[in-house]
C-alpha cells in the first residue's frame, strides 16, 4: 500500500501501532490530557456542524490529523447516542470523498486495498459497452470502464454496505471474473465502505471526567442539529433517553451466546424502529453488527435471514412496540444480558 498521506485516511492506521511508533501515551486518559484533546473535540464539532470553524486553518500536522480522528472517535463513543455515531461516520466519509475525487487514480486503489478489497486498473478499452449511436457518424457511443474488482471482493462489498440498485451485481458489467466500474462508482463504493468501517469502530464507552465539558458541548450541538434524543409516550409523561436504553447498546457491542432471535424480536428491532426511529437500512446495519459480534465473541454464527429482521422492524414500527424491559424477558435471556451489561466495555 503506497498512500501518499495516510493521515487523510486515519481509520487505516492502527492507533496502538501509531502511539508506539510516535512515543505517545497509550492510555485514553493521558491522550485527553494532551494538547491533542482540543483537536479531537474540534473535529467532532466540525463533523456535526461544518460551519462551526468555517475559514479557520485545518489540522496542523500528520500527528494531529491522526490523533484528532481517534480522540474524536472516543468522544463520539462516550456520547452513547447512535445518531451522533452515524453523523460522525457520514461526515468523516465525506472528508474522504472530497480527497478521492481529486486524487491520483492509484490512490483509490490503495485506499481500497487498505480497506481489505482488491481493485485493479483496467487496460485501455479492455471493456467497453455500446450505450447508443452517434447520429453524426452513425457509429457507436462506447462507455469504457477504468477499474475492475474481482467478483469475490465485489460480493463482499455488497454484503458489507447497502449499495444502491444501480450498483447491484445484476446491473453491473461482469467479464472474466471481474466486475467493471468507472471512477465515480469506485469512489462511491469506497466512501460507502469507509462510512461502514467508521460506524463499526464506534462502540459505547463510559465517559471520563477529563472530557465532561467537551461532551456537554457535543451533546448540546447534537440537540441543535439532530434534535432531542428522547421520545415521549402518548401520555406525554415519560421520556425515553439514551441512558435508559444504554444496556441495549452494550449488548449490541458484545453480542449474545444464545437467544439472538429473541433479543432481536423483543428488544433490538423495537428499539431501532420505535425509539431511535431509524430507516430500515440503518437499522439493519445495527442488527448485523449485533449478529457479527455474537458470532465473533461467542461462536454463535447461524444465519439470521434479512427478510425476517425486516418483518420485525416493520411490525415494531407499525404497532409502536417498545423494547421489552430486562425483567420481562425469559430467565435464560435475562441471565445472559445481565452478565454482559455488568461487564466493563
Q: What integer pLDDT is reported at residue 112 of this predicted model?
A: 95
With 0-12 / 13-18 / 19 or more C-beta atoms within 10 angstroms meaning exposed / middle / buried, residue 267 is buried
**Element of type H or E holding 123:** none
Q: Residue 161's closest CA among 115, 103, 119, 102? A: 115
Q: What percent of the chain has pLDDT over 90?
A: 37
Q: Where does the pLDDT of residue 138 fall: very low under 50, low under 70, confident under 90, or very high at 90 and above?
A: very low
Which pLDDT score is estimated for 142?
53
Centroid of chain to Cα 125: 35
The model's pTM:
0.69
User: What is the model's pLDDT at position 167?
Assistant: 78
CA distance 245 to 238: 14
Residue 240 scores a pLDDT above 70: no
DSSP character string of 244-278: TTHHHHHHHHH--SS-HHHHIIIIIHHIIIIIS--
pLDDT in tens, 259-311: 999 999 999 999 999 888 888 888 998 999 899 889 988 998 899 999 999 99
- Report pLDDT digits (tens) over 190-204: 999 999 899 888 887
What's the gap between Cα 334 and its chain centre?
Answer: 29
In the predicted model, is pLDDT for residue 59 greater than 80? no
Could you tell me the pLDDT band of residue 209, with boundaries at 50, 70 and 90? confident
Residues 6+ apart with CB under 8 A from 152: none
CA distances from residue 129 to 49, 102, 106, 151, 175 in whole angstroms, order as listed = 43, 26, 24, 19, 12
Distances (CA, A) of 240 to 77, 104, 128, 138, 267: 19, 48, 55, 65, 14
In residues, how long is the chain?
Answer: 345
Instruction: Identify which has the larger pLDDT, 105 or 241.
Output: 105
pLDDT of residue 68: 92
Is residue 230 predicted with pLDDT exceeding 50? no
Split at pLDDT 50, 70, 90, the class of 324 is: very high
Query: Measured between alpha carbons, how far is 124 from 264 in angstroms, rounded to an integer?
Result: 49
pLDDT-derived band of residue 234, with 50, 70 and 90 as boundaries?
Answer: very low
Partners of 154 in beta bridges: none
Amino acid at each position: 500500500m503506497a498512500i501518499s498521506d495516510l493521515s487523510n485516511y486515519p481509520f487505516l492506521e492502527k492507533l496502538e501501532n501509531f502511539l508506539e511508533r510516535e512515543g505517545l501515551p497509550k492510555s485514553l486518559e493521558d491522550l485527553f490530557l494532551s494538547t491533542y484533546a482540543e483537536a479531537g473535540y474540534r473535529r467532532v464539532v466540525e463533523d456535526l456542524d461544518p460551519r462551526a470553524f468555517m475559514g479557520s486553518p485545518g489540522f496542523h500536522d500528520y500527528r494531529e490529523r491522526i490523533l484528532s480522528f481517534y480522540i474524536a472517535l472516543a468522544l463520539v463513543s462516550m456520547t452513547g447516542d447512535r445518531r451522533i455515531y452515524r453523523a460522525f461516520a457520514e461526515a468523516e466519509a465525506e472528508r474522504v470523498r472530497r480527497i478521492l475525487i481529486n486524487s491520483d487514480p492509484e490512490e483509490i486503489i490503495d485506499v481500497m486495498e487498505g480497506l481489505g478489497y482488491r481493485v485493479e486498473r483496467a487496460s485501455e478499452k479492455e471493456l467497453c459497452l455500446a450505450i447508443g449511436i452517434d447520429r453524426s457518424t452513425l457509429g457507436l457511443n462506447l462507455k469504457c470502464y477504468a477499474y475492475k474488482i474481482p467478483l469475490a471482493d465485489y460480493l463482499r462489498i455488497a454484503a458489507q454496505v447497502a449499495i444502491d440498485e444501480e450498483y447491484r451485481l445484476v446491473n453491473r458489467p461482469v467479464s472474466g471474473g471481474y466486475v467493471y466500474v468507472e471512477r465515480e462508482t469506485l469512489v462511491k463504493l469506497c466512501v460507502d465502505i469507509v462510512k461502514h468501517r467508521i460506524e463499526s469502530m464506534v462502540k459505547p464507552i463510559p465517559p471520563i471526567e477529563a472530557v465532561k465539558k467537551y461532551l456537554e458541548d457535543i451533546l448540546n450541538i447534537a440537540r441543535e442539529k439532530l434534535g432531542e434524543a428522547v421520545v415521549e409516550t402518548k401520555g406525554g409523561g415519560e421520556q425515553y433517553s439514551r441512558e435508559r436504553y444504554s444496556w441495549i447498546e452494550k449488548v449490541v457491542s458484545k453480542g449474545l451466546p444464545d437467544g439472538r432471535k429473541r433479543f432481536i424480536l423483543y428488544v433490538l428491532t423495537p428499539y431501532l424502529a420505535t425509539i431511535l426511529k431509524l430507516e430500515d437500512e440503518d437499522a439493519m446495519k445495527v442488527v448485523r453488527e449485533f449478529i457479527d459480534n455474537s458470532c465473533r465473541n461467542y461462536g454463535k454464527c447461524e444465519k439470521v435471514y434479512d427478510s425476517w429482521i425486516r418483518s420485525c422492524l416493520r411490525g415494531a414500527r407499525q404497532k409502536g412496540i417498545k423494547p421489552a424491559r430486562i425483567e420481562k424477558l425469559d430467565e435464560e435471556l435475562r441471565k445472559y444480558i445481565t452478565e454482559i451489561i455488568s461487564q466493563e466495555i
